[in-house]
Structure formats: structure tokens, C-alpha cells
């Protein structure tokens, strides 16, 4: 497509047309296209007949005077001094008027000294006396230029599109200039006003809509070892914005280990895919999925999460993410935190990235199993010919031989599918939980929201119940130890207090009904936390009060079940529910 536009621009510069428009979406590479083209033509000196080139961004411009001055002051020569002199000598011979002959000589002298930049300095030294006169003289000398007006949609509010189009027409028709207008027609608020002048002023329009690969080639050479992976990823999210691709290059250049020939292709692909999706969602705010949504999905769900059940009720965001995630095989990644930090803070800990790469390199078997599972899912998503038996056998073979190498979310999706296909997965489920018990319990202990996060990523209910049972066993053991320590030693470890704060009255009821040893000592110790509060209102005091009140509520709940419990509550713990109700 670029070669077609380049040929059209060649015809424009040597033909009769004077004004051309290059339009397209934000960041699509309109300016990059034009700048590459004109600089190449100027450098090659291959037949341009204009004497100078000026690039003027209209961003923030508020008057025509500003634009006229910018045209002259930004001008750079196109043709050689010899050619400039030949042209001016021709005009000199054609001019019989002595004054005109003198003006031509002045213009020749100035043209050979960098296209008149000296006069601008003089104007600044004597602003009141010379600015107006020099500005008029500068504009008078603008003839036979190539002029690019960029960012029409970002002009100042006090400057109308009509005024700019009028100046464009004057430059083209009266001063024999070739004018190129570049703008995003989707963002031009005065598009209707532009349309009223289009027929009179504009000779031709090019709608620049390159392919993903073409824009990628502007930033990454096709010989780059990451080119093919980048091409696949940016096409998947429909990313053509050159500025975002440039930002991606900065990230990649700052991670030199990615181009290590000995690095596993799966690790490289994981980094590239996650980087592209996160950059796309962070910068393409008008067309992409929200950054927060993508972060949440990458943290919680493997790409196969949405295929694990046939009764999905997906939002539009989830449907769009499902398509992207399935094509790029997105799952929670060790790189996500580092890429997000780069986007939000502008830098990345290179040592941390190297450590992550080393960690993944040491887990090649885990990556291999993940890739094998992805291939089975690809059989399901990309084919209507494979049979139930093929899917079942493939999943069963991979899972049964690699139970300790499969991530929880990937295991959940796979056995959910197997269950949907009528397979009894009870034995696999039990083996998985038993073999990964330490890791599962460590994940649950990471923070208070860990179980909630697991509940979201695990769609297969029996698996989730198994995990909850693990936590219940652990909680019973932990609360026994913590409550006894509080009752006997008065040790108030902050982490233990936070753990107890996560218990609701109902959870305390469940624990009490397990009949732990020395229950009355432990409950009395927990109730006594309320006495520590006093008049303090700091965070620790509020936590002590919360624990004491929840234990109190649990005992009240138990006391309401029968008369014996009511006697226990009143006699042992001094909690009289009848007195409270009266």
C-alpha cells in the first residue's frame, strides 16, 4: 500500500495538482509515511523542482500569522545553491524593472545562506520596529515550496478550519506551492467545515490504512528475531499505532536477554504476547479493553477458562478478551507484574526480569506441559473433526503424567471439560490436590483474598470444595494454636490477629463445633481481646474488638440452639442471651 501512495505522491509533486490530503486514524503512521517519503526524495535529490520544504505542525496554532512565520522559519533547501542561482538569474533577466531586479538579487543572496533564517534573528532584536515588515517580507518570498501542514485536528480554538483552508489555497494557487494536509478525520471536530472547502481547495485525498505488518516494519526490521512473534501479537489485538509500537521497542530493547539465542521460544513468546496486550490496553484507551480489566484477567484466568463450560454468560469485554486470550494462549505470567510496573512507572527492574527468565528457564517442563495442554485446547477450538475420544485421551494422558507440573487454573479448565464429556475425574482430582497440597496451601496463605481469587479461577466446583477443605483443616489447626497462645501467653502477633479477623461468626461456629481441646480456655482468651480496647481507637484496637465481637456472636448463635448451650454460654462465658433479648 505504501508503494502505491508513494507513486501517487511522486505524481502529485511533478503534476498539476497543488493540494493533497493524507488522512487516517490516530497513530496509524500518516506523518511517518510522509516524512519518510519526503526525506528520501530530498536526500536522493532526484528531480524535485521546488526550492524548499517546510513542515508545520498546527498543534496549538492560534493565528495565520503564526503559521506564515512557521512556514518560512522551518524551511530547509531542496535544490543546490547552483540551481537556486540559475533560477534567480533567469528571473533577473526576465525583469526589466530595476526595483524588481534588486529584490531578486536580495532573495538570491538570502536563499544561498540557508533560506533567509537571518532575518528572523533581526526581527527578534527589534520586535516593535521590524517584526511586521520582516514577517510580510518573509511571506512574500515563500514561493515554489513544498509545505506540510500536520495536526489539523489539534489547531487552536481561535483558528478556524476555513482560515487554514484559505491560506492553503493561497499558497497553492498564488505562490505555486505544493501543500500536504495531514490529519485524523475521525478526530477533526470541524469536519463539516472542512468538507465545505474540500471541493474548491483539495485536489486529491489519500486514506492511509496500512497493515499491521507494514507499520511493524517501520519500527522493527523483518530480520529481527522477534519480528514474527510481534507480528502475530499486534495483529491479534489490531494494533497499528506506530507510537505504541515504538514504546514496545523501548521495553524490548531494555530487556536484552529476550534476544538470547539460547532462550526458550516459549519464554520469549510469553513475554511478547503479554507485553503487546498490556501496552495495547494501557495506551489505546478508545478502542482497547480497559487496562484494569486486562490486568484482572491476566492475574486470575488462563486462556482456556472460558472454554471450560458450555453455560457461559459472558459480557462483551469477556467475549473480546476470550478471542484474544485463546489466540495468544494468555495465562497468568511471571512477567505481568514487571510489564505493568514499566507502564505505570516508566522503568523496569532488569535484574528482576533476568531472574524471571532464569526461573522460567528452570521450569521448562512446566512450560512444555502448558504448551501441550494448549495444543489440546486448539484441537477443540479450531476443529470440528476431532472426536470426544481424541480430546479425552489427550487430556487424560497429559494430566495423569504431569500432575505436579500443571497450574491450578489450567487443571481446573481441563477437568471441567473432561467432566462435561462424561469422564469420572474424581481420582485425578484427589491425586492433584494431594500432590500439590503444599503449593495450594501456600497460595491460600499469601493474603486474605487468596481463596476468593481461587474461587474465581476454579470453575469446577468439586475441585474448589477440595481446596476449601484444605483451608478448613489448616484453619482449624491455626486457630487452635493462635487462640491458645493468646489465652496463655497473651502474645498478639499482627499476622495472627489479621488471620482471626478473616473469621466471621459463622466460621467461628464451625470451628467451635469441631470440639477443639481446651475450648473454654481458647474462647475465654479470644473474648478477652475486647478488654484490651479501652479508649484507644487505633487499627490494632479495632481488630481486637472485631475478633471479640465475632466470637461473642458465635456463642450467642450456639446458645440459641438449645437449653444446654444457653447454660454453657451463661455459666462459662457470662453471656446471657435472655437478658440481652429482654
**In terms of pLDDT, which residue wins out, 95 or 371?**
371
Which of 171, 187, 210 corresponds to the end of one domain?
210
- Are 205 and 333 members of one domain? no
Residue 87's pLDDT is 54
Residue 482's pLDDT is 85
Q: Where is 109: in which H helix or E strand?
A: helix 98-111
Residue 461 in domain: no
Give the contacts of 266 (CB within 8 A, at least 6 positions apart): 367, 368, 370, 371
Pairing of strands 19-23, 204-207: parallel
Residue 581's pLDDT is 53
**In terms of pLDDT, which residue wins out, 332 or 129?**
332
- Are 229 and 260 members of one domain? yes
Number of domains in the chain: 3
- Residue whose grid cell is 533476568: 354
Q: Of 185-189, 477-481, 557-561, which gets the smallest average pLDDT?
A: 477-481
- Are 346 and 481 members of one domain? no
pLDDT at 129 over 90: no
Provide the CA 282 distance to its chain's centre, in angstroms. 3
- Are 562 and 538 members of one domain? yes
Q: Considering the chain, what is the average pLDDT of its residues? A: 83
How far the first Cα of the chain sits from its last, in Å, is 85
CA gap 67, 389 in Å, rounded: 72
- Are 44 and 157 members of one domain? yes
Residue pLDDT, tens place only, 434-449: 888 877 776 665 544 5
Domain range for 535 is 466-581
- Are 122 and 7 members of one domain? yes
Residue 79's pLDDT is 72
pLDDT at 481 over 50: yes
Q: Where is 121: in which H helix or E strand?
A: helix 117-125
Residue 442's pLDDT is 63
Give the residue ranges of DSSP H helices in 254-332.
Answer: 265-283, 291-300, 316-328
pLDDT at 37 over 60: yes
Mean pLDDT of 401-411: 88
Residue 93 in domain: no
Residue 487 in domain: yes
Task: Please check whether residue 298 is in contact with residue 275, taking contact to mean a CB–CB distance below 8 angstroms.
Answer: no
Residue 473 in domain: yes
CA gap 248, 59 in Å, rounded: 25
**Burial class (CB within 10 angstroms; exposed 0-12, middle 13-18, buried 19+) of 395:** buried
CA gap 68, 346 in Å, rounded: 38
- Are 155 and 298 members of one domain? no
Task: Please check whether residue 559 is in contact with residue 568, taking contact to mean a CB–CB distance below 8 angstroms.
Answer: yes
Task: Please check whether residue 334 is in contact with residue 359, taking contact to mean a CB–CB distance below 8 angstroms.
Answer: yes
Residue 120's pLDDT is 47
Residue pLDDT, tens place only, 215-267: 999 999 999 999 999 999 999 999 999 999 999 999 998 887 787 778 888 88
DSSP 3-state of 346: coil
Task: Please check whether residue 138 is in contact with residue 118, taking contact to mean a CB–CB distance below 8 angstroms.
Answer: no
Residue 568 in domain: yes
Task: Please check whether residue 230 is in contact with residue 212, taking contact to mean a CB–CB distance below 8 angstroms.
Answer: no
Cell triple for 351: 535484574
Sheet containing strand 19-23, edge to edge, reads 76-77, 52-57, 145-150, 178-183, 19-23, 204-207
- Are 204 and 266 members of one domain? no
CA gap 180, 206 in Å, rounded: 11
Which of 162, 189, 210 corresponds to the end of one domain?
210
- Are 22 and 68 members of one domain? yes
Cell triple for 507: 466460621
pLDDT confidence bin for 89, thresholds 50/70/90: low
CA gap 191, 195 in Å, rounded: 6
pLDDT confidence bin for 4, thresholds 50/70/90: confident
Residue 128's pLDDT is 47
pLDDT at 139 over 80: no
Among residues 239, 264, 333, the alpha carbon closest in space to that of 295 is found at: 333
With a pLDDT cut of 70, the percent of the chain lying above it is 82
Residue 117's pLDDT is 46
Residue 147's pLDDT is 97
- Indicate the length of the chain as a whole number: 582
- Residue whose grid cell is 516593535: 128
Residue 388 in domain: no
- Are 59 and 153 members of one domain? yes
What is the torsion angle, in degrees rounded to the nearest 10, for the CA atoms of residue 295, residue 301, residue 303 and residue 304?
A: -170
Which of 362, 379, 412 corresponds to the end of one domain?
362
Cell triple for 383: 476443529
Residue 504 in domain: yes
Q: Of 377-381, 406-410, 478-482, 547-551, which gets the smallest average pLDDT?
A: 478-482
Residue 480's pLDDT is 82
Give the contacts of 374 (CB within 8 A, at least 6 positions apart): 303, 304, 329
- Residue whose grid cell is 524535485: 48
Integer CA distances (angstroms), 537 to 501, 532, 533, in order? 16, 11, 8
Residue pLDDT, tens place only, 47-67: 888 999 999 999 999 999 999
- Are 265 and 344 members of one domain? yes
pLDDT confidence bin for 452, thresholds 50/70/90: low
Residue 173 in domain: yes
DSSP bridge partners of 77 = 52
CA gap 353, 335 in Å, rounded: 7
Task: Please check whether residue 326 is in contact with residue 307, taking contact to mean a CB–CB distance below 8 angstroms.
Answer: yes
Among residues 54, 50, 55, 56, the alpha carbon closest in space to that of 78 is found at: 50
- Are 544 and 496 members of one domain? yes
3-state secondary structure 517-572: CCHHHHHHHHHCHHHHCCCCCCHHHHHHHHHHHHHHHHHHHHHCCCHHHHHHHHHH
Cell triple for 215: 507499520
pLDDT confidence bin for 1, thresholds 50/70/90: low
Residue 443's pLDDT is 66
Residue 319's pLDDT is 87
Q: The CATH number of the domain where 49 resides is what?
A: 3.40.50.300
pLDDT at 335 over 50: yes
Q: Of 108-117, 168-177, 334-343, which gets the smallest average pLDDT?
A: 108-117
DSSP string, 447-495: -TTHHHHHHHH---HHHHHHHHHHHHHHHHHHHHHHHHHHHHH----HH
Task: Please check whether residue 403 is in contact with residue 431, taking contact to mean a CB–CB distance below 8 angstroms.
Answer: yes
Task: Please check whether residue 256 is in contact with residue 225, taking contact to mean a CB–CB distance below 8 angstroms.
Answer: no
Residue 119's pLDDT is 46
Amino acid at each position: 500500500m505504501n508503494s502505491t501512495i508513494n507513486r501517487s505522491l511522486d505524481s502529485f509533486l511533478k503534476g498539476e495538482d497543488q493540494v493533497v490530503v493524507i488522512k487516517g486514524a490516530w497513530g496509524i503512521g500518516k506523518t511517518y509515511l510522509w516524512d519518510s517519503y519526503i526525506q528520501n526524495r530530498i536526500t536522493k535529490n532526484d528531480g524535485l523542482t521546488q526550492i524548499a520544504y517546510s513542515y508545520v505542525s498546527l498543534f496549538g496554532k492560534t493565528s495565520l500569522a503564526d503559521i506564515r512565520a512557521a512556514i518560512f522559519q522551518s524551511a530547509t533547501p531542496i535544490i543546490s545553491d547552483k540551481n537556486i542561482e540559475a533560477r534567480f538569474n533567469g528571473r533577473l533577466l526576465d525583469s526589466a524593472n530595476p526595483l524588481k531586479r534588486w529584490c531578486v538579487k536580495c532573495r538570491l543572496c538570502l536563499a544561498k545562506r540557508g533560506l533567509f533564517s537571518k532575518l528572523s534573528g533581526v526581527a527578534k532584536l527589534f520586535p516593535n520596529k521590524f517584526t511586521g515588515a520582516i514577517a510580510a517580507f518573509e511571506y512574500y518570498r515563500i514561493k515554489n515550496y513544498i509545505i506540510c501542514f500536520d495536526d489539523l485536528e489539534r489547531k487552536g480554538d481561535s483558528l478556524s478550519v476555513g482560515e487554514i483552508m484559505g491560506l492553503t489555497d493561497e499558497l497553492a494557487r498564488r505562490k505555486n506551492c505544493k501543500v500536504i494536509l495531514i490529519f485524523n478525520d475521525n478526530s477533526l471536530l470541524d469536519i463539516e467545515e472542512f468538507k465545505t472547502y474540500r471541493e474548491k481547495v483539495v485536489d486529491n485525498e489519500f486514506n492511509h490504512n496500512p497493515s499491521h505488518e507494514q507499520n511493524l516494519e517501520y519500527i522493527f526490521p523483518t530480520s529481527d528475531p522477534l519480528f514474527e512473534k510481534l507480528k502475530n501479537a499486534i495483529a491479534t489485538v489490531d494494533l497499528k499505532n506506530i507510537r505504541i509500537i515504538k514504546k514496545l521497542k523501548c521495553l524490548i530493547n531494555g530487556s536484552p536477554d529476550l534476544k538470547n539465542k539460547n532462550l526458550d521460544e516459549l519464554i520469549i513468546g510469553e513475554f511478547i504476547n503479554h507485553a503487546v496486550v498490556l501496552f495495547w490496553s494501557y495506551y489505546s484507551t478508545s478502542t482497547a479493553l480497559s487496562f484494569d480489566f486486562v490486568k484482572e484477567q491476566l492475574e486470575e484466568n488462563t486462556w482456556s477458562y472460558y472454554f471450560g463450560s458450555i453455560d457461559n454468560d459472558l459480557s462483551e469485554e469477556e467475549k473480546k478478551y476470550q478471542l484474544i486470550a485463546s489466540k495468544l494462549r494468555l495465562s497468568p505470567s511471571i512477567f505481568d507484574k514487571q510489564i505493568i510496573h514499566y507502564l505505570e512507572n516508566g522503568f523496569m527492574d532488569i535484574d528482576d526480569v533476568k531472574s524471571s527468565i532464569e526461573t522460567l528457564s528452570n521450569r521448562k517442563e512446566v512450560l512444555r506441559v502448558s504448551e501441550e495442554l494448549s495444543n489440546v485446547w486448539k484441537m477443540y477450538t479450531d476443529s470440528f473433526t476431532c472426536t470426544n475420544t481424541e480430546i479425552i485421551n489427550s487430556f487424560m494422558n497429559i494430566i495423569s503424567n504431569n500432575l505436579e507440573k500443571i497450574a491450578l487454573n489450567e487443571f481446573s479448565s481441563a477437568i471441567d471439560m473432561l467432566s462435561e464429556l462424561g469422564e469420572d475425574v474424581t481420582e485425578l482430582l484427589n491425586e492433584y490436590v494431594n500432590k500439590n497440597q503444599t503449593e495450594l496451601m501456600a497460595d491460600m496463605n499469601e493474603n486474605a483474598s487468596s481463596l476468593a481469587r481461587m474461587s474465581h479461577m476454579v470453575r469446577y466446583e468439586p475441585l474448589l470444595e477440595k481446596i476449601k477443605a484444605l483451608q478448613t483443616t489448616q484453619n482449624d489447626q491455626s486457630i487452635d494454636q493462635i487462640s491458645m497462645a493468646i489465652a496463655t501467653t497473651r502474645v498478639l502477633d499482627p499476622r495472627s490477629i489479621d488471620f482471626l479477623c478473616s473469621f466471621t461468626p459463622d466460621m467461628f461456629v464451625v470451628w467451635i463445633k469441631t470440639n477443639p481441646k481446651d475450648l473454654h480456655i481458647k474462647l475465654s482468651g479470644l473474648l478477652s481481646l475486647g478488654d484490651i480496647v479501652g479508649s484507644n481507637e487505633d487499627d490494632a484496637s479495632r481488630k481486637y474488638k472485631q475478633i471479640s465481637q465475632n466470637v461473642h456472636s458465635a456463642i450467642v448463635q450456639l446458645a440459641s440452639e438449645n437449653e444446654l448451650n444457653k447454660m454453657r454460654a451463661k455459666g462459662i462465658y457470662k453471656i446471657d442471651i435472655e437478658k440481652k433479648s429482654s
